Amino acid sequence: MGLKSNLHNFKEKNKDKKWIPAFNAIHTFLYLPNETTHNGTHIKAADDLKRTMNTVIMAMVPCLLFGMFNAGYQHHLALGDIQAVAGSFFSAEFWTLDNFLVGFWKIIPLVIVSYGVGLGIEFIFAIVKGHEVEEGYLVTGMLVPLIVPVDIPLWMLAVAVVFGVVIGKEVFGGTGMNILNPALTIRAFLFFAYPTWMSGDKVWVHGADPRVQDLAAGAQPDAISGETILGSLAQGNEFMLGGSEVSFMDMFLGFIPGSVGETSTLLILLGGLFLIFSKIGSWRIMLSSVIGAIVMGLIFNQVAASGWITESSNFYGLMSAPFWEHLIIGGFAFGTVFMATDPVTASQTTKGKWIYGFLVGFISIMIRVFNPAYPEGVMLAILLMNVFAPTIDHYVVQGNVKKRMKRVKVKTA
């Protein structure tokens, strides 16, 4: 109690200092703010921006922890240290401390760089512009390490975070004013600026890329494959993991290569239910995205079955994949749950959310199939719909206005 009182007195004595927004951010993080409203009518609720951000982070923590285990498991599997096991959370070969430690020491630096650089920029802008530090980056800082390859160089990540926070958010006015999802802006910058580190068959498994120097002794990196299921299907090949065919449970539970946090559809689904239950994530956007993906997948399945596309075509592999498989491989599930539902960049109207989500899912699968060089379309689909979300809401609102005007004319006639 004494410490809290002293900190508050220190805050009051230095409230005119330029650096006080940085102190206020730390003080608010440790203690509840002392400022409360007294006049006027207000809605009393327990939630605020910080509580909302923390809830989303809690929904992603299981994906982060599983990603650490899976990073180590895929590393040892690629090196031949262990054999592929059936998809089960009770597998002794998966839940080993060694697997976790390999993933921990690779992923924690990504988290540190993401938060350190991103929050540092937030503090700088708050001090220069003289406003309180915004808390919107709390979620972005956790999203970024989960949507990148495990071996992405830290300096590249730092440069991308600078770009994403400054260009993707601060130039628009900060949290709540950005038109693009900041985490996806960061990933898009990485993909287009450093494409060889964000695609291919060597970047998704730690130790598979010969550019990474900390390989196990005696390993032959050129012989190690880190290819994802999407990459394999895009080339028309059958995906094999550790010499064994991958089952539905392997894909659903997440025992496959991929970005750090996107592989386990089960944990992503549980996180989505948690966000829906806490009324933070929009179930309309999630459900409509799934419907859109299924519709596009079924259309492609019919085209592949009709014989219009030959098996030698670049499109055939992903086009003939079962429609449901698109839902559990790649970053579709993660993007749908944690990024398409961003309340700032998504549609705000009820009907607009259905349209927005459907188009996200529909376009995601379309990009996957028609762009074999980049068989992961959810990032581009969400960014595209972020741009069109205001337009969708505009026409939904105008449609409602026209309906009401017709009712007024009928009543006055």
The full set of domain ranges for the chain reads 49-267, 281-413
Q: Tell me how far CA of residue 317 lies from CA of 171, 178, 254, 333, in angstroms.
A: 41, 37, 21, 20
Q: Which residue from 379, 342, 344, 376 is spatially nearest to 360, judged by alpha carbons?
A: 379
Q: What is the pLDDT of residue 384?
A: 94
Per run of 10 residues, the mean pLDDT along the chain (length 413 residues) is: 53 54 55 53 58 88 94 84 62 82 94 93 78 76 93 94 89 80 93 87 78 54 60 66 73 89 94 94 96 95 84 77 89 94 92 96 92 77 94 93 80 63
Q: Tell me how far CA of residue 322 lies from CA of 226, 248, 295, 381, in angstroms.
A: 23, 11, 12, 21
| Cβ atoms of 386 and 340 closer than 8 Å | no
| Separation CA 46–CA 21 (nearest Å) | 24
Q: What is the pLDDT of residue 251?
A: 87
Q: What is the pLDDT of residue 76?
A: 84
pLDDT in tens, 181-239: 999 999 999 999 998 888 877 788 887 777 775 544 445 545 555 567 777 776 666 66
**Residue 223 CB partners (closer than 8 Å, separation 6+):** none
Q: What is the pLDDT of residue 402?
A: 87
Residue entry with tokens 């650089």:
117
| Ramachandran bin of 178, using left for φ above 0, alpha for ψ from -120 to 50, beta for the remaining angles | beta
Q: Which H/E stretch holds residue 24?
A: helix 20-30
Q: Which amino acid is at 379?
A: M
Pairing of strands 244-245, 240-241: antiparallel
Q: What is the pLDDT of residue 286?
A: 97
| Separation CA 261–CA 217 (nearest Å) | 28
Taking the CA atoms of 303, 308, 311 and 314 in sequence, report the sign of the dihedral they define: negative
Q: Which H/E stretch holds residue 302?
A: helix 283-306
Rg value, the chain, Cα: 23
| Separation CA 377–CA 331 (nearest Å) | 8
Residue entry with tokens 């390859």:
149
